């Protein structure tokens, strides 16, 4: 996906294509922020299977993905609207429909994230469809 710096990423462009996990912090050195990134790096295949796009958001800037790179961009209104001003750290899960499905101010394990998503009706439909496709 190409992200234009002049037109900060619109989260709505993911609607019906990707689930979003947004990891927000006021500071990139926040221990929970760092630990959350490491937690999700452990299972990229699980993230990919569940169509999860990850955004990191720190102090008004964002980048997509978990890689260590310096291509932070100015956060758009979509990300800023989601920010909880009273929290130094937050993980947000947004469903395929664009709605917020989960907010946590503590570490979200991959297992907990996957369990939450796997209980969603659209994910259950994806799993059934995959099983059906594999039968033939």
Task: Find out whether 23 and 56 touch, Cβ atoms under 8 Å.
Answer: yes
Q: Exposed, middle or buried, 41 (CB in 10 Å: 0-12/13-18/19+)? A: middle
* pTM score, whole prediction: 0.86
SS (H, E, C) 34-60: HHHHHHHHCCHHHHHHCCEEEEEEECC
What lies within 8 Å, CB to CB, of 104 at 6+ separation is 90, 91
Q: What is the pLDDT of residues 14-60, one digit of tens each?
A: 999 999 999 999 999 999 999 999 999 997 899 999 999 999 999 88
Q: What is the pLDDT of residues 80-90, one digit of tens each?
A: 888 888 899 99
pLDDT at 8: 41
Q: What is the pLDDT of residues 101-129, one digit of tens each?
A: 999 999 999 999 999 999 998 898 888 88
- 104 vs 5, more confident: 104
């Amino acid at each position: 996906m190409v992200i234009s710096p002049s037109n900060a990423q619109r989260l709505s462009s993911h609607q019906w294509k990707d689930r979003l996990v947004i990891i927000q912090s006021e500071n990139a050195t926040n221990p929970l922020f760092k630990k959350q990134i490491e937690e999700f790096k452990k299972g990229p295949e699980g993230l990919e299977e569940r169509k999860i796009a990850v955004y990191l958001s720190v102090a008004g800037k964002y980048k997509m993905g978990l890689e260590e790179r310096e291509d932070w961009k100015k956060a758009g209104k979509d990300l800023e609207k989601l920010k909880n001003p009273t929290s130094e750290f937050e993980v947000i899960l947004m469903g395929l429909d664009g709605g917020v499905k989960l907010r946590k101010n503590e570490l979200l394990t991959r297992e907990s994230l996957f369990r939450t998503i796997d209980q969603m009706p659209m994910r259950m439909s994806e799993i059934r469809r995959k099983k059906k496709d594999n039968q033939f």
